[in-house]
Amino acid sequence: MDTRLLRTFLTLARTENFTGAAAELHLAQSTVTVQLRALERELGVRLVDRLPRGARLTSAGRRLLAEAEGVLEAEARLRAVAAEAAGEGGQGGAVAGRVVLAAGETLCSARLPGVVAALRRTHPGVELHLYPAGTAAAVEGLRAGRLDLALLLEETADLPGAPAGGAPGAGLAAELIGHEPLALVGAPDHPLAAAGRGRKAGADEAGGAGGAGWAELAAEDFFLHEQGCSYSDRLARELLAVPGARPRLTRFGSIEAARSCVAAGLGLTVLPRVCVAGALRAGTLAEIAGPPLPDVPVQLVRHARRWASPAVRTVTARLIRHFSPTGSPAGHPD
């Protein structure tokens, strides 16, 4: 069996879209269709229902998905062993392979381009595909085998469905690799921005010395990232816990939308500092002095029982190096 057909099937299952699968595989959309039909003929079963807005796995396709993943994993192991043998024989053996990494919008837009650029310099044979996803989708993708790794901005490693005590369930393992500082920001002419002028960025007074307290903040309008975002949800809980307060909270699926509303003077937001650093330097946003905002942990999650290819191990090491304050991915190969 041509394993390229299986790879096309798995990509289509993940993207649920022929156009998206073709773009990811660098193929014409017609080629994706031809390859899928060839696989369906060979297996004697319909794998995908073609819908006006995309593609959906049939019941047979869902049953065969894990088996297809197993075949490709076996192929990857075979190629890895061959590469190691070639390296031992003096024939090169550079790390190569495809790695699918899920992460939220914050990390995909602000942090991971640097990782991709570094990998292209040091390991050009490693293809890192970024898959924007929230926590629930990332966890589901890891458990289903559609993802190799996931980066989550979560306060603890208690993933959905995990037992108490911080140990992820269903075979997932989480590793704390860094932290993202947060910033409370508003438009430069917002009344609360004046209170923070002259203070150093990142100061942590909880009100006082010109800073706003929770009661004062609870009277403001906030534009926050969507529900399920750990730092936005935590801020919402703090605001709603103020006695008698009725803060107006607007949620967006896009960080850029929230940031634009705030820059227009419509209210305040809390975002990772990396997402607003440029706007703060340019003066289109201003930092608001307020209560301390704990940094958000960055969790690297993988399937504990699934074999990690040399490419996955290389990406893991690069991610740890990128997010670690010391830049030292101790215990991980680079």
Domain ranges of the chain: 1-93, 95-179+296-334, 182-294
Are 95-179+296-334 and 182-294 in the same CATH fold? yes
Other Cβ atoms within 10 Å of 332 Cβ, number: 17
Count of all residues that appear for the chain in the document: 334
Going by C-alpha positions, the residue among 119, 115, 159 that lies closest to residue 141 is 159
Going by C-alpha positions, the residue among 86, 56, 89, 76 that lies closest to residue 7 is 76
How is domain 1-93 classified at the architecture level of CATH? Answer: Orthogonal Bundle (1.10)
CA distances from 17 to 10, 12, 52, 114 (A): 11, 6, 10, 28
**pTM listed for this prediction:** 0.68
Phi, psi (rounded to 5 degrees) for 13: -65, -35
- For residues 152 and 251, give the distance between their C-alpha atoms in angstroms, rounded to a whole number: 19
Q: 65-115, pLDDT tens digit by residue? A: 888 878 887 887 787 777 666 654 444 557 888 899 999 888 888 899 999
The CATH code that applies to domain 95-179+296-334 is 3.40.190.10
pLDDT for the residue numbered 81: 74
> In the CATH hierarchy, which top-level class contains the domain 182-294?
alpha beta
Other Cβ atoms within 10 Å of 75 Cβ, number: 13
Q: Give 181's Cβ-side CA count (13 Å radius).
A: 12
Taking every pair of C-alpha atoms in the chain, what is the biggest distance, in angstroms?
Answer: 73
Sign of the CA dihedral running 145, 147, 149, 151: negative
Going by C-alpha positions, the residue among 266, 121, 109, 245 that lies closest to residue 187 is 266
pLDDT for the residue numbered 199: 43
pLDDT for the residue numbered 210: 52
Residues forming a β-bridge with 176: 299
Output the tens digit of pLDDT for each of the chain's 334 residues: 788 999 899 889 888 889 888 988 889 999 999 999 999 999 999 999 988 878 899 999 989 988 887 888 788 778 777 766 665 444 455 788 889 999 988 888 889 999 999 999 999 999 999 988 888 888 888 887 778 999 998 876 555 544 433 344 457 889 999 999 999 999 999 999 865 544 433 343 344 445 789 999 999 999 998 888 889 999 999 999 999 888 899 998 888 899 999 999 999 999 999 999 999 999 999 999 999 999 999 999 998 878 888 889 999 999 999 988 654 444 444 4
